[in-house]
Structure 1
Amino acid sequence: MFYLSLGSTFLKIRQKYRHGLRTAYYRDTVRSKILDSAPVMDTTHPTCEIHVLTSSTDWLNLIWVLKSFYHFSGRNYNLCIHDDGTLTDEQCHTLQYHFPDARLIARKIANEAMLGRLKSYPRCLKFRQTNHLSPKVFDFVAYLESDRMLLLDSDVLFFQEPTELLRRIESPTYSYNSVNRDIASAYTIDSAVVRERMGFTIQPRFNSGLGLIHKKSMNLGWIEQFLSLPGIIGHFWRIEQTLFALCSSKFGVELLPEEYDVRLGKGIESYPCRHYVGAIRHLMYSEGIRDLVKTGFLKELSQ
């Protein structure tokens, strides 16, 4: 029993420090200091609405994401936070404190609402009931109170004003969906199948972590049809991204400039933001949060 306990302790230590002391320090000690910052008030502008899906493991990261966006963008877009079903009451209260004008959508309430909304779309309903990330596809649009949505994941930090993203969001003549470019195409369906069955080309390297989505592009009739494609129900997170890419490609899509690209190497350089995808999540702490702290971000939020 002693050796089992020792082995378990060793494993926990190894997991905690596997990306180094700096990562552990900024993740476990510094990250929570965002909770001492002032709430973001008056997120009520209807030009665009930010929609995010978060969990009991990502909610603290999300506060960094949202506060860095609001701080550097200078915007006060509407905000809607969707609970994936794992948020505790305390976490919900904390999110509501920091974003008092935001709508916080409980998973149980959303489940009931979406049951009625999707009853005429059996494939959509089944997908909504079986995929943990499916609320990004269905709930975001169902609760969207603007014609334009800023799609945002809980692992995108901002370091300066995202000028081109904001320009596309706010231009009344800009009619495309526009997201960051992935390192490679990560879909559950082959592009040749899309061309053969759907008659259009799916946009390569579409990433659903950051970007502008027009409400009318997420057409339930289209999604119901896309879900009939052979083999499309594949990897649990790639299917959500695939559906966004299919809808956007049919509607009209343009990727954001290269400074918004997903990158796996180290370095923020002069980019306005960075999407810290799973493979580099540790850099969100040792690089992203560290940079924000060193440049006085937390102090500015408290003034």
Structure 2
Amino acid sequence: MVPQTVYTLLCHRDINMALVTLPRLLRFLSSDQKLIIFDDGSLTDDDTDILKALSVNIIIITRVDREDFVNSALTNYPICRQYREKSPFGFKLIDIPLHAQKFNARFTYSDSDIIYIKNCEDYFKQDRNVFLKDFTTAFSLKLKKILFKYHWSIPTNFNAGYFSYDSSRFDLDFVEHYLSLPDVYDYLWLTEQTCWALLFGRSGPSYCTNEDQFICREGYNDLKSENLAIHLIVNLKNKYVEWAVDNNDISLPPTFNLSKKVTPLYILTRKLSHMIKY
């Protein structure tokens, strides 16, 4: 396993949380690993000064600084340009992989609302495509459309809060095509995550995190000894201070499982489970 550059996207609204979570992430990087923070355009000069003071390994790339580079790369991709103007998620879907493709053979992405607790070094030096396993499968269009209308391959339980990806497999042509389809905006907040899941589906075998080690689950309240990292989704956002404690307990290193793909049987089983539940 080879240490790789880690990227995150950050806005001014989340700066207080990031000042707690990012130092936790930095604890698990080697001395030659960089944490590159992409500004969504809202970070202030004070924000960037405070962030740079956290570590010499932090690099901040503001939206202004990268506009010429990204716009040049998107000359023939008008829909990608429109999407990144409408949604800050476009910076995660387009700007970050374009930068990584130029400078890094492989990169790791981590949302700023993830708290890394202990024994997390291996999350940042994977040599295969890995992603965060969610407690559910949530995409921007119905699974039936993904499978039967578009005939796309896509992994189940995909969450784009954390992943490691082969930069050479990033396909801007596919992203442009995907973003041109009205269907993919049925659930706007999931458009970017779904595209990343599809990129993984197009890039060969992928692996997902162990769901008991790397938590991505609503309503999770009690830390357990096997927990290594937690994605602070929904009602967990206010836990970032409480759970930002030094923990040097001995635990197993991160493990990963071969991901499963959405299939007709998966869709049927999911539907039956929903009917029984409700």
Superposition TM-score, scaled by structure 1 size: 0.73
Residues 268 and 274, structure 1, Cα contact 8 Å, conserved in 2: no
Q: Does 1:239 align with 2:191?
A: yes
Q: What CA deviation, in whole Å up to 9, does each residue of 1:33-82 have, x standing for no partner?
A: xxxxxxxxxxxxx8411111111121232232222123245564222111
What is the rounded CA distance, in whole Å, between the counterparts of 1:88 and 1:164 in structure 2?
33
Which residues in structure 2 correspond to 1:133-152 (within 5 Å)?
A: 133-144=89-100, 145-152=103-110
More helix by share: 1
RMSD of Structure 2 on Structure 1 (CA): 2.2
Structure 2 segments unaligned to the other structure (5+ residues): 249-278
Q: Does 1:186 align with 2:142?
A: no
Give the match for residue 267 of structure 1. 222
Residues 23 and 54, structure 2, Cα contact 8 Å, conserved in 1: no
Residues 132 and 216, structure 2, Cα contact 8 Å, conserved in 1: yes
Give the match for residue 106 of structure 1. 62
Which residues in structure 2 correspond to 1:130-169 (within 5 Å)?
A: 130-144=86-100, 145-162=103-120, 165-166=123-124, 169=125
Give the match for residue 33 of structure 2. 77
Residue 163 of structure 1, CA deviation: 5.6
Count of residues in Structure 1 that have an aligned counterpart in Structure 2: 241
Amino acid at match of 1:80: I
Identity of aligned residues (%): 21
Between structure 1 and structure 2, the one with the greater Rg is 1
Residue 97 of structure 1, CA deviation: 1.8
2:159 is aligned, of 182, 190, 207, to: 207
What is the rounded CA distance, in whole Å, between the counterparts of 2:152 and 2:191 in structure 1?
18
What is the rounded CA distance, in whole Å, between the counterparts of 2:149 and 2:29 in structure 1?
41
Q: Does 1:219 align with 2:171?
A: yes
Question: The residue matched to 1:251 in structure 2 has which SS?
Answer: coil
What is the rounded CA distance, in whole Å, between the counterparts of 1:99 and 1:139 in structure 2?
23
What is the rounded CA distance, in whole Å, between the counterparts of 1:134 and 1:203 in structure 2?
21
What is the rounded CA distance, in whole Å, between the counterparts of 1:214 and 1:72 in structure 2?
21
What is the rounded CA distance, in whole Å, between the counterparts of 1:139 and 1:59 in structure 2?
20
What is the rounded CA distance, in whole Å, between the counterparts of 1:74 and 1:101 in structure 2?
10
What is the rounded CA distance, in whole Å, between the counterparts of 2:138 and 2:216 in structure 1?
12
Amino acid at match of 1:243: C
What is the rounded CA distance, in whole Å, between the counterparts of 2:97 and 2:122 in structure 1?
23
Question: The residue matched to 1:237 in structure 2 has which SS?
Answer: helix
Decide which moves more: 106-115 or 267-276.
106-115
Residue 197 of structure 1, CA deviation: 4.4
What is the rounded CA distance, in whole Å, between the counterparts of 2:58 and 2:28 in structure 1?
19
